[in-house]
A and B are shown apart, each in its own frame.
Chain A
Amino acid sequence: MVTKVEKWKDEVYGNEIREHLMRFAEEGWDSIPEDEHDEWFERFKWWGLYHQRSGQESYFMMRIGTPNGVIEPGQLRVIGEVAKEYATGPAANPEFGEAVCDWTTRQSVQLHWIKLEDIPEIFEKLESHGLSTQQACGDSWRNIVGCPVAGKDKHEHVDAWPVAKDLHETFKGDDDHVNLPRKWKVAVAGCDQGCGQGDINDLSLEPAVKEIDGEEVEGFNVRVGGGLARKEPRFARDIDVFVRPENAADVAGACSALFRDNGDREDRFNARIKFLMDEWGPEKFRQVLQDDYVDFELETAGEDLREAYSYNAGDGNGHGDHVGVHEQPDGNYYVGLNVLVGRMGADDTLELADLADEYGSGEVRLTQRQNIIVTDVPEENLDAFLDEPLLEDYSPDPNPFMRGSIACTGTEYCSLSIVETKNRQVRYARWLKENVDLPDDVEDFHIHLSGCTASCAQPQIADISLRGMKTRKDGEPVEALDIGLGGGLGENPRFVDWVEMRVPADEVPGAIGNLVANYEAEREDGESFREFVEARDEETLADLIEPEETDYEDPYMHNTKMTWYPYVEDDSMEDSPAPTDGAGQPLPSDD
Chain B
Amino acid sequence: MTTSIHQLDDGAWISVNESREVNVSDLWLLARHDFCDCELADFLAEGFVEVGVEPPVIDARIAGRCIVCGTEGVTDWLTVGRVVDPADGEFYPVDFTSVHVPRQRTRLARPE
Contacts and interface: CB of A to CB of B under 8 A. Distances in A.
Contact of B15 (A38, A57, A419, A480): A38
Contacts of A501: 70
A524 interface: no
Nearest to B49: A269
B25 A561 contact: yes
Given A1-B110, A415-B12, A35 B4 contact: yes
Given A3-B112, A418-B24, A38 B10 contact: no
A399 interface: no
Could you say which interface size class chain B belongs to? 20 to 34
Interface stretch (A205-213, A386-394, A468-476, A580-588): A468-476
A590 B18 CA distance: 11
Contact of A472 (B10, B12, B24, B42): B42
B25 A559 contact: yes
Given A417-B25, A477-B27, A469 B17 contact: no
Contacts of B65: 469
Given A37-B18, A470-B27, A559-B25, A5 B67 contact: no
A155 interface: no
Could you say which interface size class chain A belongs to? 35 or more
Contacts of B23: 53-54, 415, 561
Contacts, number: 90
B46 A453 contact: yes
Nearest to B43: A470
A591 B112 contact: no
Interface string A257-271: 000000000111100
- Count chain A CB atoms within 10 A of each CB in B42, B44, B65 and give the residue with the most: B44
B107 interface: no
Contacts of B67: 469-472, 480, 502
A5 B7 CA distance: 10
B10 A268 contact: yes
Contacts of A38: 6, 8, 15, 18
A231 interface: yes
B77 interface: no
A36 interface: yes
A23 interface: no
Nearest to A453: B46
12 contacts: A1-B110, A5-B112, A35-B4, A38-B6, A54-B13, A452-B24, A469-B65, A469-B67, A472-B27, A561-B23, A590-B19, A591-B90
Interface of B: 4, 6, 8-13, 15, 17-20, 23-27, 42, 44, 46-47, 49, 65, 67, 70, 72, 90, 110-112
Interface of A: 1, 3-5, 34-38, 42, 53-54, 57, 229-231, 266-269, 411, 415-419, 452-454, 469-472, 477, 480, 501-502, 559, 561-562, 590-591
